[in-house]
Amino acid sequence: MMIHRTAVVHPDAQLDVDVQVGAYTVIGPSVFVGRGTVIASHVVIGRNVRIGAENRISSHVVIGTEAQDMSYKGAPSYVEIGDGNQFREFVTVNRGAHGEAVTRVGSRCLLMTGAHIAHDCVVGDGVIMANLATLGGHVTVGDRVVVGGLAAMHQFVRVGRMAMVGGTAGVTQDVPPYCIVQGTPPATVRGLNAVGLKRNGISSEGMNALKAAYRLVFRRGMTKENAIAEIEASVSRTEEVRHFLEFLKHASRRGVSRAERIEQPGLRVLDGGEPVPGPELVRRLVAEELDRRARDSRTEVDDVSGVGGGA
């Protein structure tokens, strides 16, 4: 164990073997730090924090301070962190405030510079939060989720397994597992996270079943209840589809994010009418325009021939 002489470690804190603590770091009471964890300089670990093994905590990280919540009145609250995580500079993780009053971070996560995890959040394993990504209170993030830089999630939002939240997205409703959301509030569902699914070894059968389930929920205009019933009746029940259904059936305080609205192509009628969508009309008008141009071209050839003959 290596503790810099300028570090301040509370007598009630427990540091396992091979823990390193950098200069001017402060570790408060009722803190446990697991073996092999490296804590850089100028870190603050408040109180009631349990940190697992082999974590890397960069300078100016703050973990285990009070919840940023006006209703919090100082009741006992906690932070629990798993193994093998990376906390980059200026990451902040607040203690819980309500209910079980625990903020949890899983294992093997990468929290980039300035990421913030608010009170009572639950973050799964293998999560990546890019620079300045923010979770409001009581947010739940599933395993292997990727959250883009500057993205922000409203309180009580749920983000399903292997989902991807695009950079700068404003997420105000639940993000189903395996999906991508993007956009300013409210962020909308843009499709399946195909690249993430492939990287995580999802089989072709699983991919096809997910595509079918996704279309029923987001592309057929059904209610959520009818889409769930149709999936249960007609889609192969792979592990991914089962998890997708469980997420949709779970009680939600925020509702599920809507799909991006795809504008259909339309043409404005010359008399000032509204745009008329539909490929049939487009094909007909294109054919008429091509016929008109062909007639004009034949007429131009005839006129030129006539002039040449007269000369």
Q: pLDDT of 6-58, one tens digit each? A: 999 999 999 999 999 999 999 999 999 999 999 999 999 999 999 999 999 99
- What does the pLDDT read at residue 295? 74
> What digits encode the pLDDT tens for the residues 271-308?
555 555 567 776 777 777 778 777 766 654 444 333 33
- What does the pLDDT read at residue 309? 40
- What does the pLDDT read at residue 87? 99
- Spatial contact of 249 and 158, defined as CB atoms under 8 Å apart: no
Residue 248: what are its φ and ψ, rounded to 5°? Answer: -65, -35
Is the pLDDT at 125 greater than 70? The verdict is yes
- Domain 2-138 is found in CATH 2.160.10.10: yes
Average pLDDT in the 111-132 region?
A: 98
As separate numbers, helices (DSSP H) first and strands (DSSP E) second, the chain gives: 5, 30
Instruction: Report, as residue numbers or ranges, the catalytic residues.
Output: 119-120, 137
> What digits encode the pLDDT tens for the residues 226-268?
999 999 999 999 999 999 999 999 999 999 999 987 655 554 5
- What does the pLDDT read at residue 304? 38
> What digits encode the pLDDT tens for the residues 140-197?
999 999 999 999 999 999 999 999 999 999 999 999 999 999 998 999 999 999 999 9
**3-state helix/strand/coil string of 144-186:** CCEECCCCEECCCCEECCCCEECCCCEECCEECCCEEEECCCC
Q: Domain spans of the chain?
A: 2-138
CA atoms within 13 A on the CB side of 64: 22
CA distances (Å), 308 to each of 155, 295, 296, 304, 311, in order? 80, 20, 19, 6, 5
- What does the pLDDT read at residue 100? 84
| DSSP, res 270 | T
